[in-house]
Amino acid sequence: MNNEEILTLAEQIVKSWDWKTEVSRSQPNQLDVNILNLEQFVPIVVGLRVKRLGYLSAIVGLDLGREANQLEVLYYFCEQSSMIVLHLRIPRQNARIPSLCEVIPSAEVFERELREMFGIEITGLKTIEYLYLPEDWPDGVFPMRKDADLTMVTAQTGKV
Amino acid sequence: MENKITSESFTIPMGPQHPALKEPGHFQFTVDGEIVTRAYVRLGYAHRGIEKAAESRNWVQDLYLLERVCGICSHIHSFAYCLAVEQLAHVEAPPRAQAIRVLVAELERIHSHFLWMGVSAHEAGFDTLFMYSWRDRETVMDILEGLTGNRVNYSANILGGVKFDVDDVQAASIRKGLDFLEERTNHYLQVLGKDAMFLQRTRGIGVMTRAQAEVLGAVGPTARASNVMRDMRVTAPYSAYRQFSIRMMLDSRGDLEARFQVRVQELLESIRLIRQILDNLPQGELSVHLPRRIPAGEAAVRLEAPRGEVFYYIKSNGTDKPERLKVRTPTICNLNSVIRLAVGHQLADVPMILAGIDPCFSCNDRMVTLADERDGSERLMTWSELRQHGIDFYKQAAK
CA distance A90 to A36: 10
Domain boundaries, chain B: 10-44+332-398, 50-205+235-247+256-328
Provide the strand spans (E) within chain B. Answer: 10-14, 26-32, 35-42, 157-158, 161-162, 297-305, 308-316, 322-328, 367-371, 378-382
* Helices B74-89, B95-123: inter-axial angle, 10-degree rounding: 150
pLDDT of A126 reads 87
Determine the residue of chain A that is closest to B336 in CA distance. Answer: A106
Q: Do B315 and A131 touch (CB under 8 A)?
A: no
Q: Shortest CB distance from B44 goes to which of A106, A132, A160?
A: A132
Buried b (16+ CB within 10 A) or exposed e, A48-83: bbeeebbbbbbbbbbbeeeeeeebbbbbbbbbbbbb
**Is A105 near chain B, with CB under 8 Å?**
yes
pLDDT at B362 over 60: no
CA distance B316 to A143: 19
Q: Which residue has the higher pLDDT, B360 or B119?
A: B119
* pLDDT tens-digit map of B105-122: 999 999 999 999 988 888
pLDDT confidence of B287, banded at 50, 70, 90? Answer: very high
pLDDT at B242 over 80: yes
pLDDT at B142 over 90: yes
Q: Do B43 and A132 touch (CB under 8 A)?
A: yes
**Full DSSP string of B102-134:** HHHHHHHHHHHHHHHHHHHHHHTT-HHHHHHHH
Q: Please, which contacts does B11-14 make with residues 24 or more away whose CB atoms are closer than 8 Å?
A: B11/B369, B11/B371, B12/B347, B12/B368, B12/B369, B12/B370, B12/B371, B12/B381, B13/B367, B13/B368, B13/B369, B14/B350, B14/B366, B14/B368, B14/B383, B14/B386
- Helix, strand, coil percent values for chain A (each to nearest 5): 30, 30, 40
**% of chain B surpassing 90 pLDDT:** 54
CA distance B180 to B113: 16
Q: Shortest CB distance from B51 goes to which of A57, A78, A144?
A: A144
Cis peptide before B16 (omega within 30 of 0): yes
pLDDT of B15 reads 55
- Highest mean pLDDT among A136-145, B27-36, B311-320 belongs to B311-320
Q: Do A106 and B337 touch (CB under 8 A)?
A: yes
> What Å distances lie between residue A11 and A23, A34, A60, B4, B128, CA to CA?
7, 11, 21, 48, 55
pLDDT at B158 over 90: yes
CB < 8 Å from A in window 317-346 of B: 324, 326, 328, 332-333, 335-337
The ranges of chain A with pLDDT < 70 are: 153, 156-160
> Residues B282-294: what's their mean pLDDT?
92
The class that CATH gives domain A3-157 is alpha beta
The residue among A67, A73, A84, A106 with the most chain B CBs within 10 A of its CB, best to mutate, is: A106
Strand partners, A62: A72
- Which region holds residue B227: left if phi is over 0, alpha if psi is between -120 and 50, else beta? left
Q: Shortest CB distance from B332 goes to which of A56, A60, A109?
A: A109
Q: Shortest CB distance from A106 goes to which of B51, B217, B326?
A: B217
Shortest CA distance to B300 belongs to which of A109, A3, A75, A6?
A75
Residue pair B127/B135 in contact (Cβ under 8 Å)? The answer is no
CA distance B142 to B147: 8
**% of chain B surpassing 70 pLDDT:** 86
> Residues B152-161: what's their mean pLDDT?
92
Residue pair B108/B306 in contact (Cβ under 8 Å)? The answer is yes
> Residues B20-45: what's their mean pLDDT?
68
pLDDT of B81 reads 95
CA distance A142 to A120: 9
**Is A72 near chain B, with CB under 8 Å?**
no
- Highest mean pLDDT among A69-73, B40-44, B346-350 belongs to A69-73
Q: What's chain B's average pLDDT?
A: 85
CA distance B126 to B122: 5
CA distance B215 to B198: 29
Strand partners, A123: A98
> What Å distances lie between residue B40 and B35, B286, B347, CA to CA?
15, 47, 14
In sign, the C-alpha dihedral spanning B87, B89, B92, B93 is: negative
- Highest mean pLDDT among A117-131, B32-46, B163-177 belongs to B163-177
Question: Which residues are CB-contacts of B334 (< 8 A; sequence separation ≥ 6)?
Answer: B218, B219, B220, B222, B307, B308, B357, B358, B359
pLDDT at B269 over 60: yes
What letter would DSSP give residue B348?
Answer: G
Q: Does domain B10-44+332-398 have CATH number 3.30.390?
A: yes
What letter would DSSP give residue B287?
Answer: B
Shortest CA distance to A77 belongs to which of A60, A96, A98, A101?
A60
The class that CATH gives domain B50-205+235-247+256-328 is mainly alpha
CA distance B286 to A127: 48
- The gap from C-alpha B276 to its chain's centroid, in whole angstroms, comes to 24
CA distance B64 to B93: 18
Determine the residue of chain B that is closest to A32 in CA distance. Answer: B298
pLDDT confidence of B373, banded at 50, 70, 90? Answer: very low
What letter would DSSP give residue B57?
Answer: S
* pLDDT tens-digit map of B214-240: 888 889 999 999 999 999 999 999 999
Strand partners, A61: A73
pTM here?
0.89
Question: Which residues are CB-contacts of B303 (< 8 A; sequence separation ≥ 6)?
Answer: B76, B79, B80, B83, B232, B238, B309, B310, B312
